[in-house]
Amino acid sequence: MATATIELPAPVLVVQAIREHQLGHFDAAADLYTRALRIDPGEADALNLMGTLMLQRGDLAAAVPFSAKAVLVDPRSASALNNLGLILKQAGQTSAAASCYQKAILINHRFADAYSNLGVILKAEGHLLRAIDHYRRALDIDPTLGETYNNLANAYQEIGELQEAVEAYLQASDRMPDSDTVHFNVGLLLNRQGQPVDALIHLHRALEINPTREDARHLIAALEGRTTRAAPAEYVRKLFDAYAPSFEAHLVGDLQCRIHLDMIGLVNQHRGARRFARALDLGCGTGLAGATARGFVDHLIGVDLSEKMLRHAEVKGVYDALHTNDIESYLEQSDEAVDLVLASDVFIYIGTLDATIRAIAEHMNPKALLSFSVEEEVPAASWILRPSGRFGHGDAYISSLMEENGLLVVDKLRTALRNERGQPISGIIYLAEKVAA
């Protein structure tokens, strides 16, 4: 006679499932949660944690019904509301997610994760001071939250509170010593603050943890005095994606940058009453140069690596087309010639400009103009990688590139491009014309 198998009570199965879940044994945990729900379909903890597990697996569609039902079964569960908020945020429903976090906080005003998660949404929506308040509340409750310290530092950096950002990043690195992201973030900011020795410690640690981090490798080379050919595209994209919300206020206001005005000023001095049928703004960013040139251009195209910068440019309404791409890739894909090319503060992220200038020249009509800036001429070298992670170029090198590619330098302006830590950064703004064949 066969012995009947007696199933354990649902709460017992949930306890076993939690143990497997915590050990990272997702398949075993899922099986135990499923058995518990077979016995009691309204087992709130099983529903909530099964939703969490599915979210951890990246199966958003499977997570939703479990987490939604957990809230229906126990609408006073702050944990279930928080988990549902995480799922809704990943699904792009940020308003609904924020509502879940707010309800969780009303139920449990000591729920650190809910404050932190709501801070993430507030920051993404541009409410930086409110986000900082929520991150700080979370950390007052639970000072062990390393990711929250990292998010707090990001927010401080965006509002220009750099010393507070450094301190928050250091707190994050103490709590997340094996996070390459945190070490890179603090290294990047320490370098901006003029602390290269401390910056190198964290950048080397980031590269040690994750040897594929080309951004860390690039900055290490810059700080150790080694010159490379170009900044990694992913480094530039992430840098300006993070910079986008405060870019114009910081660049024009804090750093007193006038590159876009000086570039267009040179164009205006030489164009007379000429209009340009097609113009290309390379590394257009938020559209500072494009907005200044729009009045004498019929069709204006903007190209930038940073999608978040382009969102700000789109709001200006000055471009006829915007493309997320690097310069050379865009030019390879385009077969249209232009009458004006602008490249404001973009060549500072490219060391060897040979291929870039050649590609630009090939897309210029006869008599087309090219206006661009480079940082600090380097008499003894074609280009150097400076400790800032940006490149400086020599005037002789630039002049030879112009000549090699059928471009005649018609004017250049030596000027202070911007301030950095209270000191002017010198550079040259060039205006070149494509010589008729």
pLDDT tens digit sequence for 338-396: 999 999 999 999 999 999 999 999 999 999 999 999 998 777 779 999 999 999 999 99
Domains (range + CATH), the chain: 177-226 (no CATH), 242-434 (3.40.50.150)
pLDDT tens digit sequence for 20-49: 999 999 999 999 999 999 999 989 889 989
- Taking residues 267-284, what's their average pLDDT? 95
Q: How far apart are the C-alpha atoms of 325 and 373, rounded to whole Å?
A: 20
Is residue 397 over pLDDT 50?
A: yes
pLDDT tens digit sequence for 88-123: 998 889 999 999 999 999 999 999 999 999 999 999
Buried b (16+ CB within 10 A) or exposed e, 352-363: bbeebbebbbeb
- Count of CB atoms situated within 10 Å of the CB of 108: 17
Is residue 425 over pLDDT 90?
A: no
Is residue 418 over pLDDT 80?
A: yes
Dihedral of CA atoms 404, 405, 406, 412 in degrees, nearest 10, equals -90
Q: How far apart are the C-alpha atoms of 283 and 304, rounded to whole Å?
A: 5
Closest C-alpha among 266, 214, 264, 202 to residue 239: 214
Closest C-alpha among 415, 409, 336 to residue 369: 409
Q: Which amino acid is at 107?
A: I
Closest C-alpha among 425, 320, 316, 431 to residue 370: 431
Q: What is the pTM of this model?
A: 0.83
pLDDT of residue 258: 84
Closest C-alpha among 173, 189, 334, 345 to residue 252: 345
pLDDT tens digit sequence for 289-298: 999 999 999 9
Give the tokens for residue 147. Answer: 């990711």
pLDDT of residue 58: 87
